[in-house]
Amino acid sequence: MRFDAAMNDTIRARVTPTEKRALFEAARKSGLTLSEFLRMTATDAARRVAA
């Protein structure tokens, strides 16, 4: 995944407190920020669905 491109767009999503905790914990365990984790996993999922 390219992280050198300018990131000016924002996506907002509503999640439950439980989902938020799970996402933060998964990001932490992966050694990523929440934004990095969400970009990586969402992009991977989108590519699989589009294939």
Would residue 23 count as lying in a domain?
A: yes
Percent of the chain topping pLDDT 70: 92
- C-alpha dihedral sign at 20, 1, 43, 12: positive
- Predicted local distance difference test score (pLDDT) of residue 2: 55
Structural domain span for residue 45 = 17-50
Task: Extract long-range pairs of 38-47: CB within 8 Å, 24+ residues apart.
Answer: 39/1, 40/1, 43/1
Average pLDDT, stretch 20-39?
98
Residue 35 lies in a domain: yes
Q: Is residue 8 part of a domain?
A: no
Which pLDDT does position 6 carry in this prediction?
Answer: 85
Residue 3 confidence (pLDDT): 60
Report if pTM > 0.85: no
Q: Considering its fold, how many domains does the chain have in total?
A: 1
SS3 of the chain: the string is: CCCCCCCCCCCCCCCCHHHHHHHHHHHHHHCCCHHHHHHHHHHHHHHHHHC
